[in-house]
Structures are given as structure tokens and as C-alpha cells.
Amino acid sequence: MHIETAAEGWSEAAPTGVLVLADGTVIWGTGVGATGKAVAEVCFNTAMTGYQEILTDPSYAGQIITFTFPHIGNVGVNDEDIEVVNAARAAGVRGCVLKTDITEPSNYRALKPFSRWLEARGIIGLTGIDTRALTNLIREKGMPNAVIAHSPDGVFDLDALKAEAAAWPGLEGLDLAREVTAGQTYGWDETVWVWDKGFGRQEAPKYKVVAIDYGVKRNILRLLADRGCAVTVVPATATTEEVLAHKPDGVFLSNGPGDPAATGEYAVPVIRDLVATGLPVFGICLGHQMLGIALGGQTVKMHQGHHGANHPVKDYTTGKVEITSMNHGFALDRDSLPDSVEETHVSLFDGSNCGVRLKDKPVFSVQYHPEASPGPRDSHYLFDRFVGFIADHKKAG
């Protein structure tokens, strides 16, 4: 990694991008995408594919993504691989760090080059970075706060950037769900993508599900609709009365960014009320963490977090191991959970909690992203489990 100097081979022109860490480390690169600067937490993602889905996942709000796979952008972008529900909304992610230069797209689905797409969505990018060295730094020291900047003239006020990075408080205590949640309630009926057919529509739903949007992804809603659910999406700040007014057969707690304890100040009381009704409840990611708090547990900030599409998780309820897609920097502390809560899933990378369920009610959650996009489909069974709980609950009347 080149610190305080331009990278090798840049004798003809000054670097046009820089990443300044809170400890004063300066990493030079070539700026791409949007110009300007943004302050955020730097994480690394180990997925080899799906960069467009990753960069439009609202769970990445407040973060700069370092891609460990070197070739990012080589298949361009399209209109189908966007995960934020409102395609016109700016991505929650604040920047991306890449190893190699972005090439012209080489894929029949590509509609525009990746660099132009980054610029249009307001995402600052850097290329020419030693991402292996940066990843090792994160592993050793944790996820740093930093400022990412792109200026075509190569002029940067490093002292000001260092001060801004050092002054940023970080993700702990930040409620970012308010920044990415829906502005109003809406219905969803689009189903999953099928080869040579595209996306379908759910025209004969059997169940009504309310999804609380803390930063929900499109593919989550598609998988629910695909399994016979008429989905109503409500904002993160929806009250218990507003949720129950839709007479749901089940409630889904979505993924999202930021500190679960901060968002939980207004979300956890609602979740507790919904659990008390006896309705089936299914949470993922931020929804999992806040459900854990609602059930009596606590969350902790992780050293480097989990970000990638190759994370092995064991499901204690089946005895099987699944490869999962993850994106989180906070985790549920298993030692804080009361006896009424059972741990159901665990990470085989570091042993951290990845799932819980309530012993006496149809309430469960997982830390990872079972909808993938990008990632393997090993965990789609969890949506079947949720719908099964709904069917059983309706039969029991």
C-alpha cells in the first residue's frame, strides 16, 4: 500500500483520489465516479460477484467498501441488479475502493459502464489501491473511520481531511435506518427473476405480511411475494397500531444499517408489542439484532464485521451447514440472551451468533442475508419456514 506518496507508475500525473484514515494514514489512488468527499467507516467485502447489488444494499449506509476481489466493474451495470427499492434514490454506501482500473463492460446485460453509474449515483470510488494491504490493516486494527475524496485536479487539503476523519464519531450510536427507510407505506407483488422471463407478479396471494423497512432489499420482498405473500411495506418508524392496522398474518423485520441499539430506541418497543401478539415474526440482519434486544439480549460492535458471500453458518435446527451472504458490523451477544431464547445458527468463521428463536412462539431471526443477491441460495429455506409458521398460525386460528 502506498502511503503519503503516489502509486508506482504515476510519474506523468498526480493521483486524483485519496483515502485518509482517522489515524492519519494517507492512501493515494485514482479517483473514479463522483467527485467530492465523504466520511464513513471502511470495511472489506470478499464477494467475487454482485458489486452492483452490494453497492445498492441500504445496509451499507455510512460505509466505504473495499472489494477484495480485484476486478470490479468489468460486467458493467444494468437496471435489474439494483437492491434499493427506490431505484432513483442515492445509495447508502459512501464510497468504494478497488484494486484495478475499471474496464469497459463485457456482458450482454450491461446498459452502461460502472464508472458512469458510480458518478450518477453519487458514489466516490478509488482505483489503484493495494486492497490486500488495506484488508490486512482492517483485520489487524478493526474497521477505521476515514474520508474518501476525489478531485480531478489532484488538489487535496490533507490536514483538513485528517481532522474530519478523526472527528467523525463512527457508527456506534448512529440511527441510519431513518436515512434509508421508505417515506410512506406501499404494497409489493414482484416475484423472483426467472431465466428468459424476468420478474413475475404475485396475483393470488394466500397470506398478508407486513415488512418493517429498516433498509429492506428488493430480493427479500420478491422472495416473500414468491411464496404467496401480499407484502405491505411500512417505514421503520411505524407504530404498533400502524402495523396491526393492516391485519397481517406475519411480520417481517428487515435488514438495515447503523447501530441496532440506536434504531432500537423507537423500534424495539414496537417489536416487543408484535411478539406479544403471537403473530409469526421473522427478522434478518438489523431486524435480527433488534429482535434480540426486544427479547432481552444486547448487541456489540464487531472488530471487522462480516461482509461477503462466502460465510459458512451452521443451522443447529437441521444440523446442516450453509454458505451465506453477510453484511453487518454489529452482533447479538449470545451470553446476554435469556433462557426463553434459543440460539439456532452460528458462524463457523468466528463462532459469533447468527440466529435465534423464541422457544414458545413462532418468532425467529438470522444475522445473515438469506435472500443473498449477491450470494448462494442455501438459505432460501428460511422464507419457507416463515410462511410455514404463518400457515400453522392461521390454522390454529
Question: Could you give the residue numbers annotated as active site?
Answer: 285, 369, 371
Letter string b/e over residues 267-277, b meaning 16 or more CB atoms within 10 A of that residue's CB: bbebbeebbee
CA distances from 160 to 24, 78, 163, 198, 365 (A): 11, 37, 5, 48, 43
Inter-residue contact 279 to 208 (CB < 8 Å): no
Residue 229 in grid coordinates:
405473500
User: What is the rounded CA–CA span in Å between residue 285 and residue 291?
Assistant: 10
Residue 316 in grid coordinates:
443447529
For residue 334, the SS3 value is helix
* The amino acid at 173: G
Is the dihedral angle over the CA atoms 365, 321, 387, 231 positive or is it negative?
positive
For residue 4, the SS3 value is coil
Comparing CA positions, the residue from 216, 45, 72, 214 lying closest to residue 143 is 45
Inter-residue contact 92 to 84 (CB < 8 Å): yes
Q: How many other CB atoms are found less than 10 A from the CB of residue 239?
A: 13
Both ends of the chain: CA-CA distance in Å?
Answer: 62
DSSP 238-274: --HHHHHTT--SEEEE----S-HHHHHHHHHHHHHHH
Pairing of strands 186-188, 299-315: unpaired
- How would you class 205 by CB atoms within 10 Å of its CB: exposed for 0-12, middle for 13-18, buried for 19 or more? middle
Inter-residue contact 43 to 304 (CB < 8 Å): yes
As beta bridge partners, residue 194 has 198
Q: What does the chain come to in residues?
A: 397
